Structure formats: C-alpha cells, structure tokens
Chain A
Amino acid sequence: MPSMAIQLQRYLPERDSTPHWQAFNVEYDDSTSVLDALEQIKAEQDSSLSYRWSCRMAICGSCGVMVNGVPKLGCKTFLRDYPKGLQLAPLGNFPVEKDLIVDMSRFLEHLTAIKPYLIAEAAPQGQPHRQTPAQLARYKQFSNCINCGLCYAACPQFGLKPDFLGPAAIALAHRYNLDSRDSGKAERMAQLNSDNGVWGCTFVGYCSTVCPKGVDPAAAVNQGKIASTLDGVIQWFKPAKASRNKEQR
C-alpha cells in the first residue's frame, strides 16, 4: 500500500498555548477518505487526536475540515485526489476547541434565529399538506442542506463579522419562505432584512463552490435580497401597520 504524508493542525487546550502542525504518515488505497486517514492515525499512532464524525456518508454534516485550505467533508474527500500530500486543519472562521473540533454555536444560533421549520396550520382532519411538483421545485434545492458549516468556513463576510447570519441559515430561511405550506415568512423577514441578514453578503459566491450538497446558498442569499427589497417597498406603502423591523436608524 502506498503511504501519504499528512500535516495535521493540533491543539490540546490543556497543553498548548497555540495550535501547531504535526506530521503523520498513513497508508491508503483508492477508497481511503480523509476521515479514514484520521481514524487510522487515532487507532494506530496517536489516540489523543480529536475530530468529529458520525455517518461516514456525507449526510450528518459533522466531519467538516479544511483540506489544503479548502472546506471539505472528510468522509467525501479521498486521499487519491491529493497525490502531493495533505494539510488538515479545523474549519475556518470558527473558534477551535481542540484539534479538528470547532465551536459551531454561532452557526447554530443563526440557524435558530431564522426558524428553520415549517410554520403552518395543521392540515384539516389529519390530511397531508398537498403540494404540486412545481411548488416543490421552488425550494427543493435549498432543502438539501446538512448543516455542515462548510459554507461558513468559506464565507469571508462571516469571518469578518460573525453576527452575519451566513449562507446556510439564509438559505434555510429562503427554503421555508418559498414553501407553499409555510406561513412564517413574516417572522423570518425581520432577520433577513437586517444588516446581518441578506445584506451582510457581498456575493463572493465561494459558499456555493464548497457546498457538498449542491445547495447553492449564494443563490438563496441573492434571491433573498430581492425578497427583502420587495418587503421593504411593501412596508413603505402600508405605514399604518406596525413596522416589521424597528424604526430605521
């Protein structure tokens, strides 16, 4: 079996004052993923190594790491594609807790804030909510998000300003706003309308490049800008009702 040199960013908070690089050698074949390589290191070379994973099939979203500086899912990235070697580091733009484990609570707060669930009246008599294929097609792409956070590691605006709701949260808000069964748009727009909502985005588009599920959060954010502009115009023309957002500064 061929072997590959892997540089790992290590950080053990009880021992290290700053992260540092450590070199490992792993054996691999065509089917060895980055996650497999980490398991090999932990099992055979250094049991103190920490990283997150669960499903090993690109569905739980827990194994995100920076692979040669690019946010990737460890279980969906293969050593065979990196003949020159690998550098693995924790996801960018998040505080590092230990080794490859980051603190994602900021991302989760943003997700919570946009109410990423169906806000709808129960369908009558236990009937299912009916939806046509055309209604489904409007949001289907945006519903594939696995909350892996790769897009946050890719987003320079989230890096500059962690209060920015960020790609996945906005994509999910957009996903529910587009859902014909949902009636919670008014509750979500207040968040999207703010400087930290859709307007925190300057359309860099790297989020969509790194997304492992083809969600295209950048498209959602920019469709959200149109939605937010229309929302503003509509609010303008009906001043009698309480404004959705607080008074403008």
Chain B
Amino acid sequence: MPMLNKNASQTTPHRSDEPIWWSLFSAGGVCVAMLVPAITLLVLLGIPLGLVSAEQLSYQRLHALVFHPLGLGVVLGAMVLPLFHAMHRIHHGLHDLKLAHGRLAKWLCYGSAVLLSLLVLGLWFSGLG
C-alpha cells in the first residue's frame, strides 16, 4: 500500500462560495417546477379547452398583474431565480463537458444571470410608473 498523504487530513480548505449559487439554483428550480407547468396548462390547455377565456389573459390584465406590487414576486419567481438556475446548470455543464471550468466561466455565467436580472428588475421598476 503506498504511503498516504498525511497532510491531506490536516490542511483546512477554503469555504466554497457555492452555497450562494446553489441556494439560488435550488430556489429557481422550485419556481420553475411550480410555475412553468401552471403557465403551460393555463395557456396550452386552458384556453383551447375553454376553461380560461383569452380575455382573462389579455394584455391589460396581465400588465396589471405583473406590475402589481405582488407581481414582483412573480417576476422574481418566473424570471430572476430561473436565470440563476439555468446559469448554474450551464456553469457546471461546461465543467462536466471539459469545456471550461475556470474563474472566467464562472464570472460569465453568474455575471450574465446578474445582468439579466438587473435588466428584468429595471424594466419592472420603470414599468411601475
């Protein structure tokens, strides 16, 4: 049996920053899993089956819903968190496919999620008035 590296058990490694990204990823996954089927059912089945009238999903009504203060929750749940969910998957997917796993990939992935989220939030706040 080769000598074991005794130091392996003695060095204290850095704490990972993954809990932040993983928490956003998990929250995004839950939102996607709950909202996407609901929206799909509503639009793809509800309207053709006559369960929901197209009127109820009219521009005015949806606009009022989204820009209601509670609509911010919908925007966070349907867009911002899923963005982090997707970019987390892409970031780890790049590592798995041996395409990229350095800092740059991480900055690009989470950076684009942050930028797009800011864009979404900016549009939301500018649409409030």
Question: What is A's interface to B at a CB cutoff of 8 Å?
Answer: 103, 105, 108-110, 112-113, 115, 156, 160, 190-191, 193-197, 199, 202, 225, 228-229, 232-233, 235, 243-249
Chain B's interface size range is 20 to 34
Shortest beta-carbon distance from A17 to chain B in Å: 21
- In the assembled complex, the Cα of A244 lies from the Cα of B96 at a distance in Å of 29
Among residues of A, the one whose C-beta sits closest to the C-beta of B19 is A229
B19 pairs with A228, CB closer than 8 A: yes
Q: Return chain A residues, CB-CB under 8 Å to B95.
A: 160, 202
A225 pairs with B9, CB closer than 8 A: no
Which residue from B4, B12, B22 sits with its C-beta under 8 Å from A108?
Answer: B4
Instruction: Let me know if B18 is at the binding interface, CB within 8 A.
Output: yes
Can you add 16 more A-B contacts, CB < 8 Å, to A193-B13, A195-B18, A248-B17? A105-B2, A109-B5, A112-B9, A160-B96, A160-B98, A190-B15, A191-B13, A194-B15, A195-B16, A197-B16, A202-B95, A225-B19, A225-B22, A233-B19, A245-B12, A246-B12
Shortest beta-carbon distance from A209 to chain B in Å: 17
Which residue from A109, A113, A195 sits with its C-beta under 8 Å from B14?
Answer: A195
Q: Return chain A residues, CB-CB under 8 Å to B3.
A: 105
- In the assembled complex, the Cα of A244 lies from the Cα of B5 at a distance in Å of 22
Number of A-B contacts (CB under 8 A): 74
- In the assembled complex, the Cα of A194 lies from the Cα of B8 at a distance in Å of 13
Which residue from B8, B13, B19, B98 sits with its C-beta under 8 Å from A110?
Answer: B8
Using known A-B contacts A191-B13, A199-B18, A229-B19, determine if residue A112 contacts B96 with beta carbons closer than 8 Å. Answer: no
Using known A-B contacts A109-B8, A195-B18, determine if residue A246 contacts B13 with beta carbons closer than 8 Å. Answer: yes
Among residues of A, the one whose C-beta sits closest to the C-beta of B6 is A112
Among residues of B, the one whose C-beta sits closest to the C-beta of A103 is B2
B9 pairs with A202, CB closer than 8 A: no
* Among all A-B residue pairs, the 10 with the closest Cβ atoms: A245-B15, A194-B13, A199-B18, A229-B19, A199-B16, A109-B8, A113-B9, A195-B16, A193-B15, A202-B92
**Complex interface residues of chain B between 86 and 129 (CB less than 8 A to chain A):** 92, 95-96, 98
- In the assembled complex, the Cα of A244 lies from the Cα of B95 at a distance in Å of 28
Q: Return chain B residues, CB-CB under 8 Å to A197.
A: 13, 16
**Complex interface residues of chain B between 28 and 78 (CB less than 8 A to chain A):** none
Among residues of B, the one whose C-beta sits closest to the C-beta of A195 is B16
Shortest beta-carbon distance from B97 to chain A in Å: 10
- In the assembled complex, the Cα of A244 lies from the Cα of B22 at a distance in Å of 20
Using known A-B contacts A112-B9, A160-B98, determine if residue A248 contacts B4 with beta carbons closer than 8 Å. Answer: no
- In the assembled complex, the Cα of A112 lies from the Cα of B6 at a distance in Å of 9
